Amino acid sequence: MAKFELDGFTVSDANVCTANGGFVGSVTEPTGTIIPAVAGTAITKTGSRTFLTVASANAAHWVTLPAPVVGDEIWLKNGATGYEIRSSAPATIAINGGTGASAESAVIANQLVRLICTSATTWIATNFHTDGTVSALEAAA
């Protein structure tokens, strides 16, 4: 059973963790797991590949990637509201080459993002747009 830790709560493949730490509904992991994009929501995962749906109410909210493990692959899909992605240590762990004290990469509405950990200090991220266009996610800044 896959488990994710969000805001200190462990989420199994049968639960959804809300922003306030409560559990609602039922989902099937890996494709149905929902994580809220709120200030400081962290993804902690087991296994090398994860597909998550991001539910965001505000484009300024963010999710935080887990500590880098070379070869890990994370897919994030959101709906009509964008959000931001931060590494677990934004000043030293880059997303597409960008670092900084609170560096983050913005994700626009209705995107599929693929993040691959390529070293102990780097994530490479790609956007898949609804029309099939593939592009680099903006570097964290």
Q: pLDDT higher for 35 or 77?
A: 77
Q: Is the pLDDT of residue 13 over 70?
A: no
C-alpha to C-alpha distances, 47 to 6, 29, 50, 82, 129, nearest whole angstrom: 16, 12, 7, 26, 26
User: Contact, 3 vs 10, CB < 8 A?
Assistant: yes
Q: pLDDT higher for 33 or 135?
A: 135
User: CA quadruple 69, 82, 102, 43: dihedral positive or negative?
Assistant: negative
Question: What are the tens digits of pLDDT across the range 28-59?
Answer: 233 345 566 655 555 655 556 778 888 888 88
Closest-CA residue to 100 (of 86, 83, 113): 86
Mean pLDDT computed over 7-30: 35
Phi-psi region at 71: left, alpha or beta (left = phi > 0; alpha = psi -120 to 50):
left
Per-domain residue ranges of the chain:
3-136
pLDDT of residue 66: 87
Categorize the per-residue pLDDT at 24 as very low, low, confident or very high, splitting at 50, 70 and 90: very low
Mean pLDDT computed over 105-115: 95
User: CA quadruple 52, 55, 59, 65: dihedral positive or negative?
Assistant: negative
Across the strands, what pairs with 117? 123
pLDDT of residue 45: 57
Q: Is the pLDDT of residue 15 over 60?
A: no
Mean pLDDT computed over 49-75: 86
C-alpha to C-alpha distances, 35 to 27, 51, 85, 97, 104, nearest whole angstrom: 11, 11, 12, 25, 17
pLDDT of residue 5: 43
Q: Is the pLDDT of residue 25 over 70?
A: no
